[in-house]
Amino acid sequence: MKRERASGKTSALFDSKPAVEAVKKEKMGSKLFSLVTIFVFLLILIGRAELVFISFRSLFTAIALFFSSPELFREIFTAEIIEFWIGAIYLLAVPIALAFFAGRSFRKRGGAEEKGSSLGKISLRAFMRHSIALYASAVIFILYSAAFLAPFVAPFAPYDQQDFLVTAYQPPLARLDALILKQPKALLIPIQQGSGTTIRLANTLISDFQILKTRNEPHAIRFVNEYRFEGSTVIYRQGMRTKTMTIAELAGNGKKNIAVTRTFILGTDQYGRDILSRVIYGSRISLSIGFLVVLISVTLGTVIGVTSGYFGGWVDAVMMRVVDVLVAFPALFLILIIIATFGNSIYLIVITLSFTGWMGVARIVRSQVLSLKEQEFILAAKSLGLSNLRIISRHLAPNTLTPVIIAATLRIGSIILTEAGLSFLGLGVQPPTPSWGNIINEGRDSLLNYWWISTFPGIAILTTVVCFNLIGDGVRDALDPRMRG
């Protein structure tokens, strides 16, 4: 008997070695990813330290101005500055959060975290062993980080259309010279006249916004194909036109520091706009629409599914008939009718896609509730006199989260494709606001000669959808006890 027990312990020890090695690899991989991410964010923070500081200063100035004079705040405030506030907060919050969790996991001892593991921790460890899903999650994290940090990482403004005779249809990695003019870019909001704390706050906010808005090019520039000096005159060529200007009109010292070279990594479109910057800014629209639509539709579908399955009777019959009608009605046709009737703003697109995509979630949740409400723990809760709301919120809804989470992760990709298709047809986000779909639409007529306009946003859509589907597969395997092995 003792030999059998000893041999059993030995075999169990050997059987646990692969699991221990897998856990070690998971920890090493997560720590390496955290360190690389913190390093990259710190590089961006150091390189854009002045802009980050001005962003936070403008945020505090705007708060003080709002409480000091709401009327003046509404007069000079512009929503474009919010993207700098969000980007600056995200740039600081992510490395701090990663450092905190990395330090917390480092302080934990090897076997201590295995004791008392909850279902969530077990599922998380199972997901961490899914290598492909982890790589896909890393790619999605990079895409969302680029969307949040667009004002700090995009090399150009997405709407710049300057000197398109020179900059239009430039291929990837094109390098162009630009003359730096002495005159700064014009103020977008006039400086307020007067004195006092309120006026000082308003002018500080205006100055900060001017610096943030012209962050890449504080001075006006002029792209040229070539230029040369003749005495105190600069002769330059833009396309087929040859023009002149005096050296006194240029910035710099004499003939030095009067020109810069700009590289368009992914090329330019027909208006001379940088494709890389437009793809980065377009990710904010596409990714945010996908996330918001799935959040709203999943929430709505869960509420309706739980209500229908739990109460049954005429409530179930009415709700399910409504679901049957909406499922039978072509969703794309309904979306086109709503957009054609009420317009095609971003908010309407989010609402329309949300209210045409909850039916599948409602059916899944209803089927789960129908099987759960006959279980012993639900009958025990009813016998204890718990209210219906408490039973639904504390016992039924948490036990239906597994299929809901899987459906949500798999649906984000299809929502992004739907939004891109609407924008491609001209029914989604309208130019000049960039989204991946309308960027592809702008380059479809010149796809053979200028392939890069549509190719790179298409690659972004393909990468995002594939990664979300891979994450969905990983979540499904992690939450399914039969797949944890």
Separation in Å, CA 214 to CA 135, 157, 208, 211, 388: 36, 9, 10, 5, 57
In the prediction, which pLDDT does 23 show? 54
Lowest-confidence segment of 33-47, 372-386, 461-475 by average pLDDT:
372-386
Contact 381, 373 (CB under 8 A): no
Condensed to tens digits (0 to 9), the pLDDT of residues 334-359 reads 777 887 787 777 788 888 888 888 88
In the prediction, which pLDDT does 463 show? 92
The larger pLDDT score, comparing residue 454 to residue 485, is at 454
Q: What architecture (CATH level 2) is domain 275-484?
A: Orthogonal Bundle (1.10)
Q: Is omega for the bond preceding 155 within 30 degrees of 0, making it cis?
A: no
Taking residues 431-439, report their average pLDDT: 85
Cβ of 163: how many Cβ atoms within 10 Å?
A: 19
In the prediction, which pLDDT does 484 show? 53
Condensed to tens digits (0 to 9), the pLDDT of residues 60-83 reads 999 999 998 888 888 888 888 899
In the prediction, which pLDDT does 455 show? 92
In the prediction, which pLDDT does 483 show? 55
In the prediction, which pLDDT does 256 show? 72
Residue 88's identity, in one-letter code, is A
The larger pLDDT score, comparing residue 57 to residue 115, is at 57
Condensed to tens digits (0 to 9), the pLDDT of residues 90-146 reads 999 998 888 887 666 666 544 444 444 566 677 777 777 778 888 899 999 999 999
Beta-strand relationship, 226-230 and 259-264: unpaired
Question: In the structure encoding, which two tokens stand for residue 55, read together?
Answer: 């962003």
The domain segmentation of the chain, as residue ranges, is 1-106, 174-189+199-264, 275-484
In the prediction, which pLDDT does 186 show? 66
Checking if the pLDDT of 324 tops 80, the result is yes
In the prediction, which pLDDT does 174 show? 92
Which range is most confident: 69-73, 147-151, 248-252, 409-413? Answer: 147-151
Condensed to tens digits (0 to 9), the pLDDT of residues 14-39 reads 444 555 555 566 666 667 778 888 88
User: Taking the C-alpha atoms of 277, 278, 279 and 283 in order, what is their torsion angle to the nearest 10 degrees?
Assistant: 110
Taking residues 221-226, report their average pLDDT: 88
Checking if the pLDDT of 257 tops 90, the result is no
Checking if the pLDDT of 3 tops 50, the result is no
Alpha carbon distance, N-terminus to C-terminus of the chain: 30
Task: Using only the alpha carbons of the chain, give its radius of gyration.
Answer: 29
Residue 389's identity, in one-letter code, is L
In the prediction, which pLDDT does 2 show? 43
Lowest-confidence segment of 86-100, 107-121, 188-202, 226-240 by average pLDDT:
107-121
Give the confidence band of 149 by pLDDT, cuts at 50, 70, 90.
Answer: very high
Q: Shortest CA distance to 132 belongs to which of 473, 483, 478, 484?
A: 473
- 335's CB contacts (< 8 A; 6+ apart) are 352, 353, 356, 418, 422
Q: How far apart are CA 235 and CA 186, in angstroms?
A: 25
